[in-house]
Amino acid sequence: MEFFRRTAPVGFMAQAKRWGLISLILVISSWVLVFTKGFNYGIDFAGGTLIQVKYDKPAPIDDIRKILQTQKAYEGAQVTHFGSEDEIVIRTKSSTGSVSNDISDEVRKLLAPTGNLEVRRVDMVGPKIGDELKTKGTMALLLAIAGILAYVSFRFEWRFALSSVLALIHDMSIALGAIVLFGIEVNLDILAAILTLLGYSINDTIIIFDRIRESIRTSKASEIAELIDESVTKTLSRTTLTSLTTFLVVLALYLFGGEIIKGFSFTLLVGLIVGTYSSIFIASPILMWLKFSVLDFRKKEAEKLKREKEKERMRSMYEQGTL
Amino acid sequence: MKKFNYRVVVFILAFAFGVIFSLPSLLQSDWGKKITLGLDLQGGLHMVLGVKSEVAIESRTKSIATTVKYLLDDQEIIYDNLAITPNGVTLELLDSDDVTKFKAIVQKELAGTTLAQNGMVFTIAMTPEEIERTKQNAVSQAVETIRSRLDLFGLAEPTVAKQGEDKILVEIPGIKTPADEQRIRELIAKTAHLQMMAVDEDRAARVSVISEEEAAQYGDVILGDVKTTEKYLLKEIPVLDGSMLTDASVGYSQSNQPVINFVLNGEGAKIFGDFSGKSVGKRMAIVLDNKVYSAPVINERIGGGKGQISGNFTQQEAHDIAIALRSGALLAPVYIMEKRSVGPSLGADSIEASAKALILGFVVVMIFMVIYYGIAGVIANVALVVNLLLIIAAMALFGATLTLPGMAGIVLTVGMAVDANVIISERIREFLREGKSVTKAIEDGYDNAFSSIFDANITTLVAAIALYVYGTGPIKGFALTISIGILASMLTAILGTHGIYHALSHKIKKENLTFWFGSKE
């Protein structure tokens, strides 16, 4: 079976400006969303308490709300269904420092009259920890980006590194925009999803860049746009196939992996689509716009090769004892 | 001569390794190392506790005051106005002849303090080093104490560890009900601070009208009874405290009520004996965590250093208090900074759901690979299975913890491992299309694919390492599974499949490429 049989390069670069514009609009609107609507921080970052309760019948959500409303400590508590009719989660902004008698103990007592229930999960994060997790999360993100930038610069060239990181920021921005748009609760697992996306998106981009690097060496064309079209076309089959298989796996996770990792898998699904798109339509044009010169690169590569050959010659001379 | 196919040998070894070390985890057998399930999968309690170390400083100051009081009484130095102020312990000597003797005592008996003099008023303060040491000590002592309480309680494999400078991580797997969880938390939180305090008999009659400020002027405190609303006016500086306790156990009173019997060490027994001898006819309160449990009248000198706490305990309360007393008081109370607790049923549901997703995703991808790539897809699938076994084996060997995000990590790794084989197969097809021979196409395919797979995987690994370094708990587990998965996939998807092709390459004919690679040409 084969999906892509064309061997003639597709003219991606001719359309680059159009895609660039679309992406720019998407990225800007994502940032507008992030700064106006803002993230729906979950308790990991905002602090607070989350209590997941399961009933042996459909949860009497109105009764629960009524009971909680009578308590001052639970002002603004949200009660929502979670996954099924029988299950609910209660989210409050407050958290208690007391080890021996915390919010979950109180909620258990308060809700006792509403029926047979089981408290299945309690997450409580104090304000201090929330700030700490935010700092750590940001650090992880920056460290990952810096690491990727360094590695790609080392293996390719700075323009490649910059293009891949810009594509990365593009993907991340749109994923964040989607998170805000759909009101996904941002907890640690979302951070993990974003970092996984970093890995995926860079993975896709690198495969194409590797092909471009190879084409520069083997192809006769010296026009970067031509080379990019050729390389992107040749890797098109791989890019879509891999994205498709990964998409299928994450889709399975989203549909059947349970309510707790829904936000995580949703973020990945969005990221996979955006990441695949950007690898094909965004990362490579940036390389072109950064005025990447094929001839210069060839010259540098040739010099590198020459130096290596020179070294080898010296070594062989040395080994033969002529030096 | 046929070249030695080292790749297949390595692959078979990896397969054997994967099978042997993943079996204990897969079969849940009793032997061998198994993957530990994270608290989010098996259910349990995870807490990060903060330590109120300033309280440790306060109580250290108080204990300095107790020691000073005891020493001066013992040496018959007369003093007045012994009090605890924000600056330290102050007192006024009444006889100037005692100053030298007093200074000598302070220097000898109270290490880590400084003595300031203002006329005949002296202030004993802790040095900054001593304050820092006391704070540190409060944290490490809390770790020790909580650990020994959980051990005495008989919980299976609790983790209690210091986290950062001043935090304590407590992880307890396998708690069945929220009520049990609360009981364990109560046990952890109990300061178990036992004090014997003298009742201020001169003013006791006025206890109901006296204000706290007024009491403080006399060097007294007002504490409530543990069960009733009765109040007691007590001398603030205790006669002795729980640090001199050597044992505590549950016993029964004459009326068959559970009580707690405790035994004091030699020093404590002596102080207790001296005090009771001097205070016949007066009352002494037994105070636990600032609640008065009883205040019996002293009938005679009590020797032997034995005492009893009674207070209408239930059997369970008495049991937990005895454990707390035996494992020692917390120098400073702890408070919750973060708590995550998962019931066992939710953990089981999570395992089921993610395992279902994992298997489903796995099967869909495998079927797809065979349809799209033919035998090449089958080879990729073999590598995929070995990859999965390797991840499980490596995690079991490292004693790594499998968390819910970790399960997701495995699912993602499946995607990555397939990617490598997609790249390779696409490359081989390309070279076949260019008209290369089968052997040549395979070799060139691997050569060319390697650099892209390698670079792509390393960059992903960089992101995973960042996650591991800055992640906590389950997220760390996720980063770990991904990292192991990437490394394993390089072994199986690149080296392993290459070896298989190598072994089979002489059988692959140009005529049936569709069968082998899923496409003609």
Nearest to B471 among A1, A102, A140 (CB): A140
Strand partners, A41: A186
Backbone dihedral region of B44: left (phi > 0), alpha (psi from -120 to 50 degrees) or beta? left
Domain with CATH 1.20.1640.10 in chain A: 13-40+129-292
Q: How many CB atoms lie within 10 A of CB B311?
A: 20
Q: Which two tokens stand for residue A119?
A: 């408290």
Q: Give the closest-approach CA distance of B422 to chain A in angstroms.
A: 6
Distance CA B147, CA B39 (A): 18
Distance CA B146, CA B134 (A): 18
Distance CA A50, CA B340 (A): 9
Candidates B45, B186, B337, B373, partner chain A, best to mutate (most A CBs within 10 A): B337
Chain A residues 22-51 within an 8 A CB cutoff of chain B? none
Going by C-alpha positions, the residue among A264, A295, A40 that lies closest to residue B406 is A264
Cβ pair A261:B404 closer than 8 A: yes
Nearest to B470 among A140, A211, A252 (CB): A140
DSSP character for B297?
A: B
Going by C-alpha positions, the residue among B457, B439, B441 that lies closest to residue B493 is B457
Nearest to A256 among B189, B357, B408 (CB): B357
Query: What proportion of chain A, given as a percentage, has pLDDT over 90?
Result: 12
Nearest residue on chain B to A87, judged by CA atoms? B346
Helix residue spans in B154-217 (DSSP H): 178-189, 212-217
pLDDT digits (tens, 9 = 90+) for A202-214: 888 888 888 888 8
Helix residue spans in chain A (DSSP H): 16-36, 43-46, 61-69, 103-111, 127-155, 158-181, 188-218, 224-256, 262-278, 284-289, 294-320
Q: Give the closest-approach CA distance of A266 to chain B in angstroms.
A: 12
Candidates A134, A168, A196, partner chain B, best to mutate (most B CBs within 10 A): A196
Please state whether beta strands B79-85 and B113-118 pair in parallel, antiparallel, or not at all (unpaired). Answer: unpaired
Q: Going from the N-terminus, what domains does chain B have, and what CATH number goes with each?
A: 6-38+343-517 (1.20.1640.10), 44-192+327-342 (3.30.70.3400), 193-307 (3.30.1360.200)
A258 vs B: CB within 8 A: yes
B174 vs A: CB within 8 A: no
Cβ pair B345:A120 closer than 8 A: yes
Please state whether beta strands B44-51 and B79-85 pair in parallel, antiparallel, or not at all (unpaired). Answer: unpaired
pLDDT digits (tens, 9 = 90+) for B418-452: 888 888 888 888 888 888 888 888 888 888 888 88
Torsion of CA B239, B244, B246, B250, to 10 degrees: 30
Can you tell me whether residue A264 is helix, strand or coil?
helix
Amino acid A7: pLDDT: 64
Q: Which two tokens stand for residue B381?
A: 């699938």
Q: Which two tokens stand for residue B281?
A: 């006819």
Nearest residue on chain B to A154, judged by CA atoms? B455
Chain B residues 48-77 within an 8 A CB cutoff of chain A? 48-50
Distance CA B329, CA B55 (A): 13
Cβ pair B341:A210 closer than 8 A: no
C-alpha dist (Å) from residue A160 to A202, A203, A243, A290:
11, 13, 22, 9
Nearest residue on chain B to A147, judged by CA atoms? B462
Nearest to A129 among B338, B455, B457 (CB): B338
Cβ pair B48:A129 closer than 8 A: yes
Chain A residues 278-317 within an 8 A CB cutoff of chain B? none
Q: Are A236 and A4 in contact (CB under 8 A)?
A: yes
Strand partners, B284: B198
User: Taking each helix axis from N to C terminus, what angle separates A16-36 and A158-181, rounded to the nearest 10 degrees?
Assistant: 50
Mean pLDDT of A235-262: 85
Amino acid B474: pLDDT: 65
All residues of chain B having their beta carbon less than 8 Å from the beta carbon of residue A141 are: 466
C-alpha dist (Å) from residue B414 to A23, A193, B55, B399, B427:
30, 16, 52, 22, 20
Mean pLDDT of A271-293: 86
Strand partners, B306: B263
Distance CA A51, CA A107 (A): 9
Distance CA B266, CA B306 (A): 11
A112 vs B: CB within 8 A: no
Amino acid A36: pLDDT: 93
All residues of chain A having their beta carbon less than 8 Å from the beta carbon of residue B471 are: 136, 140, 188, 192
Which residues, other chains included, contact B503 with Cβ-Cβ below 8 Å and sequence gap of 6+?
A: B5, B8
Residue type, B247: D
Distance CA A165, CA A151 (A): 11
pLDDT higher than threshold 70 for residue A5: no
Cβ pair A196:B343 closer than 8 A: no
Chain B residues 111-140 within an 8 A CB cutoff of chain A? none
Amino acid B1: pLDDT: 40
A143 vs B: CB within 8 A: yes
Nearest residue on chain B to A236, judged by CA atoms? B426
Question: Across the beta sheet with B79-85, what order do the strands follow?
Answer: B79-85, B88-93, B121-126, B113-118
A86 vs B: CB within 8 A: no
Amino acid B2: pLDDT: 54
Distance CA B173, CA A146 (A): 37
Cβ burial of B505 (10 Å; 0-12, 13-18, 19+) is middle
Nearest residue on chain B to A258, judged by CA atoms? B353
What is the H or E stretch that residue B362 is in?
helix B344-373
Amino acid A33: pLDDT: 94
Helix residue spans in B117-245 (DSSP H): 128-153, 178-189, 212-217
Q: How many residues does chain B have?
A: 521
Going by C-alpha positions, the residue among A50, A260, A188 that lies closest to residue B404 is A260
- Look at the domain A48-125 and name its fold: Alpha-Beta Plaits (3.30.70)
Q: What Rg, from alpha-carbon coordinates, does chain A have?
A: 27
All residues of chain A having their beta carbon less than 8 Å from the beta carbon of residue B192 are: none
Distance CA B418, CA B425 (A): 10
Q: Are B313 and B260 in contact (CB under 8 A)?
A: yes
Average pLDDT, chain A: 84
User: Taking each helix axis from N to C terminus, what angle separates A294-320 and A188-218, rounded to the nearest 10 degrees?
Assistant: 80
pLDDT digits (tens, 9 = 90+) for A179-231: 999 999 888 888 878 877 877 888 888 888 888 888 888 877 777 888 888 88
Q: Are B79 and B120 in contact (CB under 8 A)?
A: no
Distance CA A291, CA A162 (A): 12
Amino acid A316: pLDDT: 84
Q: 3-state SS of B91-140?
A: EEECCHHHHHHHHHHHHHHCCCEEEEEECCEEEEEECHHHHHHHHHHHHH
Q: How many residues does chain A have?
A: 323
A163 vs B: CB within 8 A: no
Please tell me the class of the A13-40+129-292 domain.
mainly alpha
Cβ pair A192:B459 closer than 8 A: no
Cβ pair A126:B338 closer than 8 A: yes
Distance CA A89, CA A50 (A): 7
C-alpha dist (Å) from residue A200 to A10, A23, A276, B267:
24, 19, 9, 67
Domain with CATH 3.30.70.3400 in chain A: 48-125
Please state whether beta strands A185-186 and A40-41 pair in parallel, antiparallel, or not at all (unpaired). Answer: parallel
Phi and psi at residue A306, to the nearest 5°: -65, -45
Q: Give the closest-approach CA distance of B462 to chain A in angstroms.
A: 6
Cβ pair A242:B426 closer than 8 A: no
Amino acid A28: pLDDT: 95
Distance CA B372, CA A1 (A): 5
What's the angle, vertex CA A16, arms to CA A12 and CA A20, rounded to 5? 140
Q: How many CB atoms lie within 10 A of CB B266?
A: 10
Residue type, B249: S
pLDDT digits (tens, 9 = 90+) for A39-60: 888 888 888 888 888 888 888 8
Q: Give the closest-approach CA distance of B175 to chain A in angstroms.
A: 11
DSSP character for A10?
A: P
Residue linked to tokens 């790749």: B7
Residue linked to tokens 């073999």: B382
Q: Give the closest-approach CA distance of A317 to chain B in angstroms.
A: 30
Going by C-alpha positions, the residue among A199, A262, A122 that lies closest to residue B39 is A122
Q: Which residues of chain B have pLDDT under 70?
A: 1-3, 472-474, 520-521
DSSP A65-103: HHHHHT-GGGTT-EEEEESEEEEEEEEES-----SSS-H
CA A80, A86, A87, A92 torsion-angle sign: positive
CA A139, A144, A149, A151 torsion-angle sign: positive
